[in-house]
Amino acid sequence: MRRKFSIQIFLFVFLIAGACLGQNPAPATSSVNTDFLFSEFSVARLQHGYAKGYYSIRQVVEAYLDQIAAVDDSGPMLNAVIQVNPDALEIADKLDAELKAGKSRGPMHGVPVLLKDNIDTHDRMETTAGSRALMGSHPLQDSWVAKKLREAGAVILGKTNLSEWANFRSDMSSSGWSGVGGQTKNPYVLDRNPCGSSSGSGAAVSANLCMIAIGTETNGSIVCPANANGVVGIKPTVGLISRTGIIPISYTQDTPGPMARTVTDAAICLGALVGVDAKDPKTKLSAGISFTDYTQFLKKDGLKGKRIGLFTQPLGQHRKVDSLMVQAVELLKMQGAEVVELETISEANVGAASFEVLLYEFKDGLNRYFEGLGDSAPIHNLEALIAFNKVDSVESMFDQELLIKAQAKGNLDTPEYLEALEKMLTASQKDGLDRVMTEYRLDAIVSPSGAPAWKTDWVDGDHFILGSSSPAARAGYPNISVPMGFVDGLPVGLSFFGRAWSEPVLLEIAFAYEQNSLHRKPPLFLEH
């Protein structure tokens, strides 16, 4: 029988040992010069420099490209960036000209951004999902995300590495590995895993290879790398940001989202990406309830008067994470929040139903994506992808049992799929998050995002210890992970999640926690 977590039980542990956490990283040496001019810059600080003429957008972009070359391609060989945009400097020059003419497109003007390489760009870059089967694939148009970033004046520096096919290939895969990009490393300790599937996005923004990165999540693929890489990750409500032009896993659960070093920067980017897209029906639900400026909800006293549920199910599995959680809860209370414990969110176990949904929707969505690439597509359907993997020596590093299982499924009219979808959504929404938040009168739910990063293992795959992403992911509801502290030199995150479209209140809470804790520390690329 699983032991119920109690704040009181762990308070003694916190008093004895909690203050020691994060003070004893394993002895190691750093393999890179971390003296980077724009290290830990915020969007506001960058814009101030542009306004004062301290530097141009070209100078900033050149500096970030040099940093990518120093950190990612040599030195520690972080492998976070799968390709660099050959047009980045030309874009910077055009944006500089606009500033000289007195025109700024807003807070994202001239901000260096990296995109996960399952997000289409219609330029000289490929979009591969990390698969060698899509090398040479050039989408026929920008994704919604790329289009909105360009309109906002961001400079797309390049694409980030990822768990191949967004970690929907093999049960024994290693997060952050792809046939195109190899293995992404954790910038804090290089033999540790960055989690995934937005591995490169999390590692790159943490390592100051960009100011903001875009990840995608089906279940944990933003919040887990945010946890492992010591950054902020926002997994929005499904439909707040269009998925058009993103290589899919699940129509029901997929969403892109920003990853940044601060809640403020992530909120700025979030506002630039929202909108109703006729090509993604889910976005119609966001009409009238999205905001182009989410920074208006950021208040340092935002915890005052909030009622927050502590989801205890992930606790009791890692004592050092539990001790950090005690500290986090005490801070929430000190800042005026009321915290109540929740042992469960949904009475039904819908893991199997969710997996069935993913298999069916992956096959349908991937085949539609391949079709949208037109005649130039290197692969035309899932069946051809499986055949490619069987003969490609690099792709054979990990099995492809998930692809094979998906290929065996029928279409989206199949009763098995419809029943699984109904079961998952009912249990996760009506009988899950909506029910518990109404019953306990909650503004949000809090839980640890995960455990410290495990050692990368190409033999046995990933070693997850704990996580809290599933309730929000299966419901399609928002989740924000922020740094919570360190365990032996490795970062750990804290997740705030809640009802659909509750980004404003979650941002208010997450910002208040961040500003009253300030746990973010840049990585040192330790070789131990």
Please state the domain extents for the chain.
30-515
Answer yes or no: is pLDDT of 514 > 70.
yes
Q: Is 197 a catalytic residue?
A: yes
Q: Is 221 a catalytic residue?
A: yes
Task: Write out pLDDT tens, residues 148-161.
Answer: 999 999 999 999 99
What's residue 26's pLDDT? 44
In the CATH scheme, what is the homologous superfamily, with its name and number, of domain 30-515? Amidase signature (AS) domain (3.90.1300.10)
CA dist list (Å): 463 to 179, 230, 237: 21, 18, 28
What's residue 6's pLDDT? 41
What's residue 16's pLDDT? 34
What's residue 437's pLDDT? 98
Task: Write out pLDDT tens, residues 319-332.
Answer: 999 999 999 999 99
- Comparison of pLDDT for 269 and 3, the residue scoring more: 269
What's residue 35's pLDDT? 82
What's residue 12's pLDDT? 33
Query: What is the strand order of the sheet 490-497 is part of?
Result: 81-84, 155-160, 112-116, 212-217, 255-260, 232-235, 479-487, 490-497, 444-448, 307-311, 338-342
Question: What is the identity of the amino acid at 353?
Answer: A
Catalytic residue among 197, 199, 242, 481: 197
Q: Is 502 a catalytic residue?
A: no
By the 10 Å C-beta count (0-12 exposed, 13-18 middle, 19+ buried), 212 is classed as buried
DSSP letter string over 105-146?
A: --TTTT-EEEEETTB--SSSS---TT-GGGTT---SS--HHH
Distance, in Å, from the CA atom of 440 to the CA atom of 367, rounded to the nearest integer, reads 43
Answer yes or no: is pLDDT of 403 > 60.
yes
Answer yes or no: is pLDDT of 346 > 60.
yes
Which residues partner with 215 through β-bridges?
257
Mean pLDDT of the chain: 93
Task: Write out pLDDT tens, residues 5-58.
Answer: 344 433 333 333 343 344 444 445 555 656 899 999 999 999 999 999 999 999
What's residue 310's pLDDT? 98
Q: Classify 78 as helix, strand or coil.
A: coil
- Percentage helix, strand, coil, to 5, in the chain? 40, 15, 45
Question: What is the identity of the amino acid at 208?
Answer: N
Q: Classify 226 as helix, strand or coil.
A: helix
What's residue 22's pLDDT? 40
- Average pLDDT of 184-188? 98
Catalytic residue among 143, 170, 221, 286: 221
Query: Which structure tokens are listed for 398?
Result: 């990990």
Answer yes or no: is pLDDT of 200 > 60.
yes
What's residue 393's pLDDT? 74
What's residue 267's pLDDT? 99
Answer yes or no: is pLDDT of 228 > 80.
yes
Band (pLDDT 50/70/90 cuts) for residue 230 is: very high
Distance, in Å, from the CA atom of 178 to the CA atom of 131, rounded to the nearest integer, reads 6
Query: Which structure tokens are listed for 227?
Result: 């946890």
Catalytic residue among 56, 116, 147, 175: 116
Answer yes or no: is pLDDT of 293 > 70.
yes
- Average pLDDT of 394-421? 93
Task: Write out pLDDT tens, residues 110-146.
Answer: 999 999 999 999 999 999 999 999 999 999 999 999 9
- Average pLDDT of 497-512? 98
Answer yes or no: is pLDDT of 473 > 60.
yes
What's residue 30's pLDDT? 59
